[in-house]
Structure 1
Amino acid sequence: MRYINYKELRLHHPNCVSIIDCFEINCKLHSNMIYKSSSYSQYKSYHTAKYLISMAPQGSINFASEGFGGRSTDVEINRSSHYIEHIGQGDEVMGDRGFLIKDAIEDRGATLVIPAFKGKRSQIISNERIHIERGINNLRKKFTVLRGPIKVKDMSSGSSNLTFADKIVVVCCCLINAMPSIVPPW
């Protein structure tokens, strides 16, 4: 697979402000059945905390949601994290087929770009979206704490709305932004 560089992405999607995806962190099991049921991820087949990450086309992370139980869908996370409120009229957002948020994005006057099931256009969008997956892999590679497992007690919030695990994710995203971009500029 060939990586699309920044200039090519801008050529195909000049109004793209965000490429979104979710990633999950393993959680240690808790004896509380409510925690167990809300954190079990069918996709990963274990208990997780799930985060929505948005990356600018240049490669910097511009949004990180609070953590949600692994059972949460991408649509629920988008709605509950208030990510869509940061999208403006005329903006383009890239996501994968799991992000069924087209109506919410269009209500903001923006466009959701997702790959179709077949065709050359689908391959181009998939190659452009690969940067968010590379960014998430880079986060996990650089910061082993994001590989998990995290303790459930770290998922409970103290005096602020952010949990300890949420704060770790935000700090790791900020540190990644201070490093050279993973998106080739040429």
Structure 2
Amino acid sequence: STSTITFHSFPKQKDLKLKWKTALKIGKEVPKYAFVCSTHFDDSDFIPSSKTSSPAKIRRLKIGVVPSKNLPVRSLDKVFLTPTKEKIIKRAERLKQRRQNKEHCQILFQNDCLPDSTPITDVEELSSSSTQTDVLTQEKTTVLSNEIKTADKEVQVNTFHSDSLFRRSIMDLIRNDEDLVALTGIPSMDKLLKLVNIGEFVIKSLNYNINFSLDILHRIVLVLMKLKLNTSYKCLVVLFGVCKSTCTNYFYETIDLLYLILKPLVLWPSKSSISKNIPKCFINFTSTRVVVDGTETPIEVPKCLSCRIRTYSFYKGKHTIKFMVGISPDGLITFVSDVYGGKASDKHIFVESNILEKCDIGDGVMADKGFLIEEECSRADGTMNTDIARARVHIERAIQRLKIFHVLKNNMPWKCLSKIDKIVYIICGIVNISQPIIGITGF
């Protein structure tokens, strides 16, 4: 009670006073008339009242004691548990509570006996009743123990299902191929499962010894949802039931895997295969081997000044990355250059890509005026340019297919640029296995 609380002044000895200040977390000079209440001391720190001669019965401290109770705690001294540790502690508390309930029930059944008012006059009746009670108690205890074990298993199963429920429901949400295309960009479930099978083969061949909480199907869907919809990591964490760090690790690791799978789909075809698949719009340009064009993707503003200079695009008026795409006359993506900063010109990317080394003598390369490969065309060439523009419209359609993946459409995070070359190849590979750019009526 407050009536028993007493106040005590700081000791005059410097070393003892310093101990008091340290215990009470006092960093500045203590005022002359500062006091410490008795709630900060243990009962054993006081001189027994029988040994004091004070008429007011004031509690006095023993010599050399230091405050040890109800001490202030600094914010830096507080222990903050991570969500994982909190889950472990709560799980241990629930397990402890279940065990206590089980022991309590066993004790109740073991103490179960006949009422005191029951008259027992015969030793045989006593023995028989005792035996029946023991059997009944043992049966009840066994039944209760089995029920507790069953309940414990049900709790574990329910916990497992609650953890993995939404992971499965993501695939359950995909009702048809249209839903799959909307979420991932993959044209059909059969092709998604083929990617999964190839991915499993690649992982086995690379001797991966990493244990993943998500199977390869969900990891691939996670990455494709990030590329197709540019879904935030916070949203993916909720959808796939993993923490943010695990989600980002899965994204970057699976990018490497998908790159190994889909890069071979961006294939440079032979001249004979191109001549067999010339569409109507290329009838006047049968020598065309590839149609090239550049595209830009906006990125976050870099912190590095040098990177800002290299990535600023005067054409777009913002920071971008740029790469060149080449398609065959039938609309298949056959070439992807390295990714450059937005400052690089189309001509520079064209020259550095060494695409001409893939061409044979007499092959034609279609490009727009932005590449500035030759001098300004003549009047006759300008008339022909109309037919060329009509033919090369398909490269623009191919680039539009790429931009359906929002990761290439919206501001790309700076951290993703370390994987940008692989991301571009992955998206180009998906476009190549999707519906053809030129329909069957175009041939």
Kindly report which structure 2 residues correspond to 1:20-99, keeping only aligned pairs within 5 A, or say none: 20-99=292-371
Aligned to 2:290: 18
Q: How far apart, CA to CA, are the structure 2 residues paired with 1:89 and 1:118?
A: 21
Q: CA deviation at 1:44?
A: 0.6
Residue 140 (1) aligns with residue 403 (2) = yes
Aligned to 2:425: 170
Q: How far apart, CA to CA, are the structure 2 residues paired with 1:118 and 1:93?
A: 15
| Number of residue pairs aligned between Structure 1 and Structure 2 | 164
Shift of the 179–89 alpha-carbon distance from structure 1 to 2, 3 Å rule, reads same
Cα displacement string for residues 21-60 of structure 1 (whole angstroms, at most 9, x for unaligned residues): 0001111011110010100001111100001000100000
User: Partner amino acid for 2:388?
Assistant: I
Aligned to 2:109: none
Contact residue 74 and residue 99 of structure 1 kept, 8 A: yes
Runs (5+) with no aligned partner, structure 1: 1-5, 104-113, 157-163
User: Partner amino acid for 1:16?
Assistant: T
Contact residue 312 and residue 320 of structure 2 kept, 8 A: yes
Q: CA deviation at 1:70?
A: 0.3
User: Partner amino acid for 1:154?
Assistant: C
Q: How far apart, CA to CA, are the structure 2 residues paired with 1:167 and 1:116?
A: 42
Cα displacement string for residues 124-168 of structure 1 (whole angstroms, at most 9, x for unaligned residues): 111111110111011112x11111311223324xxxxxxx01101
Query: Per the alignment, in what secondary structure is the counterpart of residue 343 of structure 2?
Result: coil
Query: Per the alignment, in what secondary structure is the counterpart of residue 98 of structure 1?
Result: helix
Contact residue 25 and residue 48 of structure 1 kept, 8 A: yes
**Greater RCO (Cα-Cα under 8 Å, separation 6 or more):** 1
TM-score by length of 2: 0.35
Shift of the 89–180 alpha-carbon distance from structure 1 to 2, 3 Å rule, reads same
Contact residue 115 and residue 121 of structure 1 kept, 8 A: no
Q: How far apart, CA to CA, are the structure 2 residues paired with 1:117 and 1:129?
A: 18
Shift of the 75–120 alpha-carbon distance from structure 1 to 2, 3 Å rule, reads closer
- Most deviating of 73-82 and 46-55: 73-82
Aligned to 1:179: 434
Aligned to 2:211: none
User: Partner amino acid for 1:47?
Assistant: H
Q: How far apart, CA to CA, are the structure 2 residues paired with 1:174 and 1:92?
A: 24
Shift of the 116–48 alpha-carbon distance from structure 1 to 2, 3 Å rule, reads farther
TM-score by length of 1: 0.80
Q: CA deviation at 1:181?
A: 1.4
- Most deviating of 167-176 and 72-81: 72-81
- Most deviating of 45-54 and 76-85: 76-85
Query: Per the alignment, in what secondary structure is the counterpart of residue 19 of structure 1?
Result: strand
Shift of the 118–102 alpha-carbon distance from structure 1 to 2, 3 Å rule, reads closer
Q: How far apart, CA to CA, are the structure 2 residues paired with 1:67 and 1:148?
A: 17
Q: CA deviation at 1:119?
A: 5.1
Higher relative helix content:
2
Shift of the 10–144 alpha-carbon distance from structure 1 to 2, 3 Å rule, reads same
Runs (5+) with no aligned partner, structure 2: 1-277
Shift of the 87–115 alpha-carbon distance from structure 1 to 2, 3 Å rule, reads farther
Shift of the 47–73 alpha-carbon distance from structure 1 to 2, 3 Å rule, reads same
Q: How far apart, CA to CA, are the structure 2 residues paired with 1:67 and 1:172?
A: 14
- Most deviating of 74-83 and 127-136: 74-83
Q: CA deviation at 1:118?
A: 8.2
Q: CA deviation at 1:9?
A: 3.0
Contact residue 115 and residue 126 of structure 1 kept, 8 A: no
Q: CA deviation at 1:102?
A: 4.2
Higher relative strand content:
1
Shift of the 102–43 alpha-carbon distance from structure 1 to 2, 3 Å rule, reads same
Q: CA deviation at 1:20?
A: 0.4
User: Partner amino acid for 1:171?
Assistant: I
